[in-house]
Structure 1
Amino acid sequence: MWTGTLELDLLLGDVHSLKEKRSVVRPLVAELRRRFDVSAAEVGHLDLHRRAGVGVALVAADRAHVVEVLDAAERLAAYRPEVELLSARRRLVSTDDD
């Protein structure tokens, strides 16, 4: 069994309030969940209106699938015009790592 996590650090474009931030981050999180069948949530920079941290996680039987899904999720965030992807950190863990 493989688990993978991806932490995206995002800079939001023309956002001036936490309400506007929600209108950008919520659709991104919803699309990640829907398109890739992953767990996703806003996990960082909760009190800043121009920054967002989004976490993505999944479990799969093989490493290749985890890498493929995390790559696609990162590309989705990177190509959204309303956000700038500042960094992406990922972690892969196998049950054989114990």
Structure 2
Amino acid sequence: MWIGWIEFDVLLGDVHSLKGKRAVLRPIIAELRRNLDVSVAEVGDQGLHRRAEIGVGVVAAHSERVTDALDRAERLIAERPEVTLLSARRRLRHSDDD
């Protein structure tokens, strides 16, 4: 079994409140779940209204499936005009890894 995850640090555009932040993040998270069949959550910077950390996780039988899903997630985030992707950190592990 292969497990992969990626954490995105994003800067939100014209957002002035936590309510506005939710309005921007909710459709992005929904699109990631719907299009990529992955687990997604806001994993950091919850108290900041212009920054967000989004985590995406994937479990699959083959590493290629995991890598493909993480690549597609990164492209989706990078192409969104309402956010600026500041960084993406990823990991890929096999269940036998120590």
1:13 and 2:13 aligned? yes
Q: How far did 1:37 drift?
A: 0.5
1:39 and 2:32 aligned? no
CA distance in 1, matches of 2:96, 2:44: 30
Unpaired runs of 5+ in structure 1? none
Q: How far did 1:82 drift?
A: 0.1
The TM-score with structure 2 as length reference comes to 0.97
Q: Letter of the aligned partner of 1:63 in structure 2?
A: S
CA RMSD of aligned residues (A): 0.6
List 4+ stretches of structure 1 deviating above 3 A: none
State the percentage of identical aligned residues.
Answer: 65
CA distance in 2, matches of 1:27, 1:69: 18
CA distance in 2, matches of 1:7, 1:95: 20
The alignment partner of 1:9 has SS state of strand
Q: Letter of the aligned partner of 1:93 in structure 2?
A: R
1:63 — aligned with what?
63
The alignment partner of 1:49 has SS state of coil
CA distance in 2, matches of 1:61, 1:23: 34
Corresponding pairs, count: 98
Q: How far did 1:96 drift?
A: 2.8
The TM-score with structure 1 as length reference comes to 0.97
Q: Letter of the aligned partner of 2:21 in structure 1?
A: K
